[in-house]
Amino acid sequence: MEAKDRLIVALDLDSAPEAEKLIEVLSPEADIFKVGIAPFTGYGEKILGKLREKGKKVFLDLKFHDIPNTVRNAARIAAKHGVFMMNFHCLGGKSMLEAARKGAEEGSASSGHAQPLLLGVTILTSMTEADLQVLGLAGGIEEKVIELAALAKNCGLNGVVASAKETRLIKSNLGKGFLVVTPGVRPTWAAAGDQKRVLTPKQAVAEGADYIVVGRPIIHADDPAEAARKIVEEITS
């Protein structure tokens, strides 16, 4: 996989015009864009249309977590949009994850779009072991990440969203073909912000990450295109 193909740019912007402008600026530098909860709530249909128009791939980052039937319906509709990948909280359990897979298969079959990559969300990169204890989840972060990743694989998902710091462990336990998409990636020249478990793009790929998600270091840069180029160059190096 080429370095450029590993980069996912998070469109965490307040308005559709801002997002559309950024897509135009970044179009030569990036092919995959993440549409998360906030932008999708604000202007989801419009931005999905813009990305389709530009021939870009969409990571629909809505982290579905509900009863199985509701998630199945949501996955089916998302697959009809032709998204490249989407995700589901592993803590929703086995029945929910299996329903998600079935819904995505149904949506792809009825629309003619390729089957999207389905990802489980393990433990958010903003969380620490103290946060897990507050939730009553026994064991350390790495233990929980592996348990949840194994659940996702057993339910037919293609991979997980997880911290780059757990990537090597996931690959060694679940196989190199099991995808890992890593948020919380920060180049050395960017602030960590509210992310706790972070690595640089180069470190993340070296650990085995298949895709890296980068938001603020690119979208808030004075020159977003140059920031994206620097990150791709760092991965390549």
Span 38-65, pLDDT tens digits: 999 999 989 999 999 999 999 999 999 9
> How many whole angstroms separate alpha carbon 119 and alpha carbon 55?
22
Parts of the chain with a pLDDT under 50: 192, 194-196
Angle 52-57-58 (CA atoms, 0-180°, nearest 5)? 90
Q: pLDDT value at position 3?
A: 87
> What domains can be seen in the chain, in order of their start residue?
3-236 (3.20.20.70)
The residue type of 233 is E
Whether residue 186 contacts residue 192, with contact meaning beta carbons closer than 8 Å, is answered with: yes
- Helical H segments across the chain, by residue range: 3-6, 16-26, 37-53, 68-80, 94-111, 129-134, 141-154, 167-174, 201-206, 216-219, 224-236
Residue positions annotated with a catalytic role: 63
> What would the two tokens of residue 187 be?
């180049």
> How many whole angstroms separate alpha carbon 91 and alpha carbon 224?
35
Q: pLDDT value at position 195?
A: 47
Q: What secondary structure does DSSP assign to 70-94, as a single string? A: HHHHHHHHHHHTT-SEEEEEGGG-H
The closest alpha carbon to 49, from 15, 12, 77, 83, belongs to: 83
Q: pLDDT value at position 129?
A: 87
- pTM here? 0.92
Q: pLDDT value at position 193?
A: 53
Angle 114-119-124 (CA atoms, 0-180°, nearest 5)? 150
Report CA-CA distances (Å) from 133 to 116, 129, 139, 165. Answer: 34, 6, 8, 20
> How many whole angstroms separate alpha carbon 198 and alpha carbon 186?
7
Whether residue 225 contacts residue 21, with contact meaning beta carbons closer than 8 Å, is answered with: no
Q: What secondary structure does DSSP assign to 123-160, as a single string? A: S-TT--HHHHHHTT--S-HHHHHHHHHHHHHHTT--EE
End-to-end CA distance of the chain: 14
